[in-house]
Structure 1
């Protein structure tokens, strides 16, 4: 069946409520998405959104007919219940497009303005507490100081966030007002540091106070300051707060004469008895005390709703369907959690983590949901031992619980895959907004500021590299389609500047589409400058000595005159990047992502050394505290992966334990190609960073070169060479270690030429090959293997160096006749009684394992690789293979099957499995070229006996 018919068949049988996108079809058929899109258009088949539209329209009209005053949010939920995968934004679009009376679609005012509606129990057990909170916020002139009291885990922090959002919506505080959170317990054992962080200090106020410093009180000025565990605030701190609450004034530590003014709303929270733990004078100044009930005192229905809500949150985070047995919900509802909602959340996370590990390790690709049933409860039975049963009517609980399937909902501001099929020209989001989004995503998952800057820089570089490929209508270039949201004078100015740039660079082909991005960016930048909005930026992003920077300065100077505005220097760097993107003539070369993850703080320490030695910024470190729940690290790494991936995949270097699965988890949840190497050390980290930095191959090539056995170095022989003998000594810089090796050996061998080289040299391979033309290179000796085929590598070791006899080394210009030795007649298999793909893979791998060619883990690696994309070649050939780290000997398996086997994307008659160690990849690549020989393939297919089949293959290998 040709590709055209396959596409038609898939679309004819698709789910009409959620049609297949081009990307989904492409992934299933193993072809490029662009090929599917082009072919679909040739066939005059609408995109997925257009195909879904009539069904969605009918369903929407039907729901509105029953309830004309339905809220948009409720309409969205009903459509989801009917099986449509839509967001609120999509529903609003269809309402507007079809001229439904949008005024009749009710959007409740309270729903928009009242943040408390997001709390379960807002009209139940929390109703009185919420009314107290609203009263405190709205009390003139600037609200009342509030204290939230309740056991650990009842939701005090969440409640305070709702108070802050409510205050913004009711304009008690400004929309951009700060919400500063500080947990006094974090510094309860160091009162001086606590007070310094909170109120700031004057230079010399205490030992180590080398400069004046502001505190969180000043940061919260105009907004809300939330002090959690406020009972840990020392008496002196409570006294300073007296002054703030009474007079709106305070002094930094060490200040004696001057006072500082602040205007803020103070919210405190405590788990302790306030009479026993707060000063009486302080308590008297807190007019509003709100008590939040423990979970076991709340109505059963609310507790069950909280359980369902937490499962939905985990479902969204994991991005996979979750089936939850009603018995699980019943047990969770019956339990009395000493740490309340917080402990319940942890328990549900543990259940989901267990189910997730089972899910990703399951070889049944038809299994779509995580299953959380009694088996999962039994697996974590120890976690339930300290939780007592609640005295609740079990019959009442059973009225509300049911088997449930949770489907991940996409956030409104996320890019939906279905949008990728749209034929409309979508303009990009301004770079500032993109940086802000990424910044807050990174902050949310607790990434350090120093790492955030490096990650943002990689993101910025990638964004500008991608600019030139996003628009596809260069020939019909026009700025007119921007005039609805970019000012006329700015468009005219940018068009003039573009012409000047073209005239200034007559030999370069200017990418005009970049200037559309530039126009959008400058328009947004001007708005931000005039509104004095904060711009999240990174250090200098372009050299001030470049041509692009000089042109950007000229651009900014002229723009300032036109717009009568002062533009900050940081903006010059951004504009320079747009100019650089417009002038870029070289092909895009994105890097493989690199992330190091380890227990303790080893990852950060390793990255610091790598960055210092290599002078790079791109590797990312993730430390895993020993008491951290692995699911939290998984979630953090998944979010980071989405940000740092440049389309080339990510290499993960991990130390041990649960982290070894991280690459599979990222791939399952994001689709990003990944590889993981465990038992990482500094040498591997340095070598990985070097290879990634100079783009030495794709992800697989870098991965396979790193995982080869460090002791399994290549040694080649050649008996004749009239060229002078030479040794290359290699280290990171080409200095220290390399010169030491040359000196040690040079003192003993005066008839050998020695060359020192740097492993960081981007042209290292070319230089070695050039030296090889005029030298008999006996070996490369050093700390890093350059992996030059046909040249020995000897790892540096002082004892090895002292005992090395150069005269016994021979040059490797001519490789051994190796090809015949990788063919074992036992691995040439003729028409086995097997008719299914999985059975055949298990059969092949069992032979390889029994012969000691591979380790038992090789089978799983083959199946995992096939699940990502079937290894199918033209000519009805399959080339399945697994990870070389599990291979003990390079070999080849050839099989002719009795009847064609379905390989997922077509039928196969011949299977060739290359089984290779990392240092055998060149040999494998050469041998696989025989699969391009149509005569050889046809001879194998037409062979009538086992002897005939084997002879065809063996004779072919003799020709290589």
Structure 2
């Protein structure tokens, strides 16, 4: 039964968790994830999961934006705690509040970023002091403002409480000596207590903080503001464990208190020598500047995650912003960094609301100028390390609870989703570089290479050598081993999107399958079918690395005595290569002489290489024609010189082995990003707006609006149109849609509105889905964009119409399917359609395409769940003989679906598909006369 399969998926998801996982970050599985795993409709899964909850078989976790579920049986098994049916919680950790964990698992210091790095020595000292046999040693914490001394003191108390140093009811009492620095009597009264009449206004006897913290810890912040008489009274307490209340002469009080004090000043200049001598433990807390770049990256991501929880939204941070924040050295350290991050979110949140955007993007211009200056002050070594460390263009942070301040267990997650073959190879290369950078560090790496990893590394190394005759590098085998280990430990099966799976040669796919079978048998590691294609692309990366050299030569040509040389030197030094070649063009030098020097340099490059030249202005802009006539190379002149563009192109050409077409495409995209940043910056100063916008809308759901948005963006990107914004709107209220259009269209030129319902905004042209599918909607759309090539290009028009037809068809399939997810079926069915068209050398009409998609999807569900199948009869066999070509094409291309879904498709099913095809008069005529 379906409900049993769902319970099995929940059980399998939870089986990997141990008690410490629940204490840290185990959070169950969502309905969406279950539906994806079983290829079922989410509403069906949701109904069954709620039945399981009512029966007491699962725990409902309500702390995030979506409900998640956890196996109640597994929870009881590993915790020993039996729960009532229909148990709910915000987080699983809540259900463990009355359970005692082991020392290692609950070490409060591990909640601090840098506990195993910059804070390691400080933590060792603190633990030694708190566990001292004669009682906790009094401690002085030194450090700049905002480094986290108060938090560190709290962790000392938590550690001591856990190990029995303090009484069960002992308290952590905090007092800031600066609060009463100008009133010594009041300060001492708070600290030691006072009797009635001890000073003017002392109307009653008042106990002090020493009394309140008896059996616990007293944290004195800014202790350098404590007056000399207060310091003398404290060191008497340290010596005797006794003190007098303010105003007392003979009576003494006893207290067992651990003192932890903190100061931002030099203690030798601000504290009495006799007082300092009585503090045996002095601990220095490192500043933000003294922390490693990796720790600063963790700190930035953690602080953004805390704010994401406040605003209940994901936060997307671009690479430049991350770089600036990591290199930022605020005087207020972590405290000021937190405030600067809040400011960037406030600015970005306002921009998101004004623009009606669905995601919160943190861009460099939202940072304060103090933060941005970090990019200017960085040295070359830091820049190199940043380039190795920040391997993505954007970083997405999800809402995160306040504790613990630790990073995810998998430090080297390999996230490759919905991406092309070239991107998956790029991602793996970046993944390799990140692990290689960690392996090359002097200090121990942040992960532990255990025996199992070593076995996987050795096995992969030997298998690839034996089966592919490639000797891969240690860093590559290590990276692949960690990728596979992440699959096992965290079920992160990164995979290549189905529509691109045929791009990787079949030879590599077969090698990947063979390697996976060997790994599964030897290491008990399960890898999904999607993972086969990911692994195939990675194996191809090894092959290309072993035999190919860079096939692109790159030049920078610029006016001035040293501009080109400086740019080339910066790129080469940042990437630790000697690759980019410079050609300076002094203004005093003859142009023809410069060209001759450049040709001489080009002719030294291998003949098979493509030549890419970044040039700046003037006569250099027309250089391409001259060079093509004089040199026997494929030469491309890019009419711009920008360090960022050259850096990105050189990295991808040299390290990623990108072909020329990909390099040019990425240069175009990067240049667009640079131009948009420049445009945004200038417009903010001059107040001019001339942006163009197209709205795609749907009245309910978000399918129509978003696939129209996707196709329009793809189409305009291919045509080099980057100045038109596409905004998808989805709402069940036309009034709300009109309101959003009114707000977001200010200072913009609205070209048109496209969708499945007219919002009634009559000042802007509306194009309906029906017009696109059945009328002249596409032509009207292209006319509004103003691109003549679009308007007159029938191939582009038909391609856009077909894409919309396909998505409308798959959107309608969910109405007919009971179990399967149309999104999962779409790649299989479209592969079948494309194969059929190639085999028959034709293009199906949109009507036939829609019927074929719906029929094939329903056929797969019928056969997969054994609902019924058409029985074969004698007439069918005779008919199929008369349609031999069609029958062969259909049978051949249905094999992919049959294999992927493990079903048998009989001849009767082929008969009905052929009937659909023959009802297409154009196709039938084509078959007859071909």
TM-score (norm 1): 0.35
- Which structure shows the higher helix fraction? 2
